[in-house]
Amino acid sequence: MEHIPQHIVLFPDGNRRWARAKGFHTLEGHKQGYKNLLDFSEWCKRKGVKTLTAFGFSTENWNRTEEEVNYLMKLLESCLIDNLSKYDKEGTRVRVIGQRDRLPKSLQGAITKTEEATKNNQNLNLNLAISYGGKWDILNAVKNIIKQGIPVEEIDEKLFESHLSTAGLPNPDFIIRAGGEMRMSNFVLWQAAYSELYFSSKLWPDFTEKDLEIALEEFDKRSRRFGK
C-alpha cells in the first residue's frame, strides 16, 4: 500500500453485544475486547502505524451500572500493569487521556507507573482514552487558556491544539469504528476535522487482522484533499 495512516483512532465497540450473542455475561465481552485491543496495537505497529488512540471509557460511561463501572476500572488497571513487560518488549509508549481526577486512586497510580515505565519507547504511541469526551477536551482547553491569561489575539488553531489532551501528537488520519454504529460518540471532535472514517459491522471481539488490512486498503484508495 502506498499510504499508511500514521495515527489511527479506534472505537472498539460491540463488546456487550458480542457477549450476549454468545450467552456470556456482558462483562466477559469487555475482557475479550481488551485482549483484542492488545493484538490490534501489535497489528498496527507491524503495518507502520505510529500512533493508536483507543476509546476505553467515555465521560458518558459513568452512567452505567456500578458493577460494570467498577469492573471496567479494574480491567483498565490490570490492562496497564499486567502488560508492562509486553509494552516494553514491543517498544510501545502508553499514555492516558481524559479526566484522571475522576478515576480510582489505584488506577491513577497504575497510569503514572505505566507512563513512566514506557516513556522512552518509540515503536508505537498507544493512547488510551479513559473518562474522556470530545466536548470535555475542548472545554478543558478553553479553561486552561483562560487561566493562563493568554491574549485573544494570540489564540489560533496551533495554540488551541497545544492545550488539548492530544497535544504533541498528529491529528488522526483514520478513524475505525467496529460494531456497526456510524457516529462519533463525542470522541476527538476537534482532532477529527479531516479524518477519514471507516465503519465495520464486525463486533469488536471478532475484529481480526484481516479486517484491519481491509480497512487499510480502503484508506489507501481514498484521496485526501483537505478542502482543496
Write a three-state SS string for 142-166. HHHHHHCCCCHHHCCHHHHHCCCCC
7 has which bridge partners?
51
- In the block, cell 489505584 appears at 106
In a domain, residue 27? The reply is: yes
In a domain, residue 60? The reply is: yes
pLDDT at 135: 98
Segment (H or E) for 95: strand 92-97
**Which residues have CB under 8 Å from 222's CB, separation 6+?**
196
Residue 65: which domain range?
7-133+172-221
For 156-200, write each residue's pLDDT tens digit.
999 999 999 999 999 999 999 999 999 999 999 999 999 999 999
pLDDT at 228: 72
In a domain, residue 207? The reply is: yes
- DSSP reduced 3-state for 127: strand
In a domain, residue 161? The reply is: no
Q: Which amino acid is at 150?
A: I
In a domain, residue 124? The reply is: yes
In a domain, residue 119? The reply is: yes
In a domain, residue 82? The reply is: yes
CA 106, 39, 30, 196: dihedral to nearest 10 degrees? Answer: 100
Catalytic residues: 13
58 has which bridge partners?
132
C-alpha cell at 77: 488497571
Domain CATH number, residue 112: 3.40.1180.10
Which residues in the chain show pLDDT less than 70?
none
Q: Which amino acid is at 193?
A: A
CA–CA separation, 182 vs 206, rounded Å? 18
pLDDT at 133: 98
In a domain, residue 151? The reply is: no
Q: Quote the crossing angle between the two packed helices 26-46 and 209-221, to the nearest 10°.
A: 50
Question: How many structural domains comprise the chain?
Answer: 1
